[in-house]
Structure 1
Amino acid sequence: MSEQLPSGGIELSPDEIEVLPARWSSCWTPKEVAQQLAGISTPWYVAAGWALDLFRGKQTRTHGDIEIAIPAGSFPEARHRFPGYVFDAVGSGRIWEDATPEVLAAVHQTWLRDPATGNYLLDVFREPHDGDTWICRRDERIRLPYSDIVHHTQDGIPYLAPELVLLFKAKHARRKDQTDFEATVPHMTSAQRETLAELLARVHPGHPWIADL
């Protein structure tokens, strides 16, 4: 993705940002997303807080949205699975409605919108990759096969490995991120905890979570 944002778009005012959560009130569940993407050839996975709940086998808290990730080069294939909806690109407090390919190439976050209601249903991250190898947005030195980082629930819903979910959450470590960390680590294997500690030391040296691992 380019670091230079495209021109245009709609700058969100404080009032618009405040009402955004209401526009996510009818977002899909992981199962509904999986039904939309059933049989797709590209790897994809549920990310963020929902991924940790899928790892633990139950929903542990309310989620304001649902986020998935796919390889950036495979976005057109995924896009075709949502006829009747539009994808808005999002970045730095701006929204580009029904984003063009040029805009999509410049930002990595995409919101699926129902044009009939204006509500958002799904947050899609278009991730850097090299073929079947996932590349971490936070540190491009971290490269792993999709087959290693995508886990599945008993009913086949793919989700990101918890150690990588927590790596992304570590940047801001909001209250919900801290809660997710404390609730998830006891369920992780020693190898997963060691991997998370190593990744945190590389991406966020001195992060307080390292001592807890």
Structure 2
Amino acid sequence: MSSPDGGRPITATEAARRWDPWTPSVVAARLATCPAPWAVAGGWALDLFAGSISRAHDDIEITVPRGDFLFVADAFPEYEWDVVGDGKLWSYSLAATHPDLHQTWLRDPFTGAFHLDVFREPHDGDTWICRRDPTITLPYTELIHTTDNGIPYLIPEVVLLFKAKANRPKDASDFHRVLPLLPEYRRARLNSWLTQLHPDHPWVAATRAPAVGSSSTE
């Protein structure tokens, strides 16, 4: 990945020390009037889908169309933003337009703590485009579901598709916890995407078998 000038290295140790993540409910309250189609991503999204918290979360991630990021930023006028990637950190003004960088961390300018990670994702109007394979697309109305108390989250098959690349222990744990909860059509869609992006991944076989007690509706 090419990198813009002006970034400084940030280690995983430093990032872990500075992260003080908010909860989905706190983020949702701050974004209650945001007109952009945003949603909780990552492990928190799977917890919202499952209806229970599975583990401690070191951060919190949300996704928003790249062209709509400023709607999110407007909801946090007292904070600052850093762009993160390739082990480096840039101020938002230096790297916002770089096409290979999408992670954007909200920072308290007084304490230096990070509270929120915003993924600025490719899109075509109201259609989400997967940054790892542009042939994978979904309308935002299908990409995002909402909990009973109004917190939007990414559908689980999209979250698991992105988790498959790293397949860390926590990702594997998330996968095996959520897999039995997926209706057949979601398993089939995840299987299709995994076959396309990661054909040798162990999750391909696991998603091919029908879920016990699964159905085509939720």
TM-score category of the 2 structures, normalised to the smaller one: over 0.9
Shift of residue 79 of structure 1? 0.7
Q: What is the identity, as a one-letter code, of the residue corresponding to 2:176? A: E
Indicate yes or no: 2:96 matched with 1:104: yes
What TM-score, normalized by structure 2, do the two folds share? Answer: 0.91
Q: What is the identity, as a one-letter code, of the residue corresponding to 1:138? A: R
Q: Distance in 1 between matches of 2:29 and 2:42?
A: 19
Please name the residue that 1:53 is paired with: 47
Alignment of 1:88-127 (within 5 A): 88-97=82-91, 99-100=92-93, 103-106=95-98, 107-127=101-121
Shift of residue 17 of structure 1? 2.8
Shift of residue 37 of structure 1? 0.5
Q: Structure 1 regions of 5+ residues with no counterpart?
A: none
Please name the residue that 2:2 is paired with: 4
Q: Distance in 1 between matches of 2:16 and 2:89?
A: 15
Q: Distance in 2 between matches of 1:4 and 1:61?
A: 35
Q: What is the identity, as a one-letter code, of the residue corresponding to 1:123? A: D
Residue 166 of structure 2: SS of its match in structure 1? coil
Q: Distance in 2 between matches of 1:111 and 1:65?
A: 10
What TM-score, normalized by structure 1, do the two folds share? Answer: 0.94
Q: Distance in 1 between matches of 2:157 and 2:2?
A: 30
Q: Once superposed, which parts of structure 1, at least 4 consecutive aligned residues long, lie more than 6 Å away?
A: none
Deviations 1:183-210 (A, max 9, x none): 0001110110011000000111121101
Alignment of 1:59-74 (within 5 A): 59-74=53-68
Over the matched positions of the two proteins, sequence identity in percent amounts to 51
Please name the residue that 1:136 is paired with: 130
Shift of residue 172 of structure 1? 0.9
Shift of residue 44 of structure 1? 0.5
Residue 119 of structure 2: SS of its match in structure 1? strand
Residue 206 of structure 1: SS of its match in structure 2? coil
Shift of residue 145 of structure 1? 0.1
Q: What is the identity, as a one-letter code, of the residue corresponding to 2:171? A: D
Please name the residue that 2:212 is paired with: none
Q: Distance in 2 between matches of 1:183 and 1:87?
A: 33
Alignment of 1:1-213 (within 5 A): 4-12=2-10, 16-24=11-19, 26-97=20-91, 99-100=92-93, 103-106=95-98, 107-213=101-207
Shift of residue 4 of structure 1? 3.1
Q: What is the identity, as a one-letter code, of the residue corresponding to 1:8? A: G
Q: Distance in 1 between matches of 2:104 and 2:159?
A: 18
Shift of residue 19 of structure 1? 3.0
Q: Distance in 2 between matches of 1:27 and 1:161?
A: 21
Please name the residue that 2:210 is paired with: none
